[in-house]
Amino acid sequence: MTFQSMVIAFGPATEPAEPEGVELLLPPSSELIAGLIAFAIIFIFVWRWVMPAVNRTLENRQQAITGQLTAAEATKHEAESLLTDYKKQLAGARDEANKIVEDARRSADALRADVVGKAEAEAQTIVRKARDEAAGERERAVGAIRHEVASLSLDVAQRVVGESVDAAAQKKLVDRYIAELEGLNA
């Protein structure tokens, strides 16, 4: 088979005619049919196996997001509840602290008043004892002075008289004289 025999068998090699008008837009019919069959096969494959898998994935994702939103909402409510509880506890602790401070102030005031009262009572007791001791010392001093005056008077009287005077009678005389002097001073 030569080249000429081939040309004769297949016909003369003529250039195909240029498409015009609408034929420019449309593919050849054999390509159009092959494209439609390929599209139908792919569409059926996607519709039958891919779409259910994609739908399951989307549903699982939607359920996961819904679950997460629900958990987040529950956590938010729990956090708000805890915050409210903590605020109440903090307010209670502040009130308790203020109460403790106020009780401590009252206790300190009461203790101070008690200490001041005891100190005043003790001071009065000390002053009273000092006065009693001073009065007792005064009485002893007055008694000692009386005795001394009586003794001196007797000595002076014995020297003046030159003889012995009854000491007991003389002592009575001096005591009476001192008592008269005290009566004049009072």
pLDDT digits (tens, 9 = 90+) for 74-131: 999 999 999 999 999 999 999 999 999 999 999 999 999 999 999 999 999 999 999 9
Residue 27: the pLDDT is: 80
Residue ranges covered by each domain of the chain: 42-174
Coil, helix or strand for 101? helix
Residues comprising the chain, all counted:
186
Instruction: Specify the higher pLDDT residue, 165 or 68.
Output: 68
By CB atoms closer than 10 A (0-12, 13-18, 19+), residue 155 is exposed
**pLDDT tops 70 at residue 185:** no
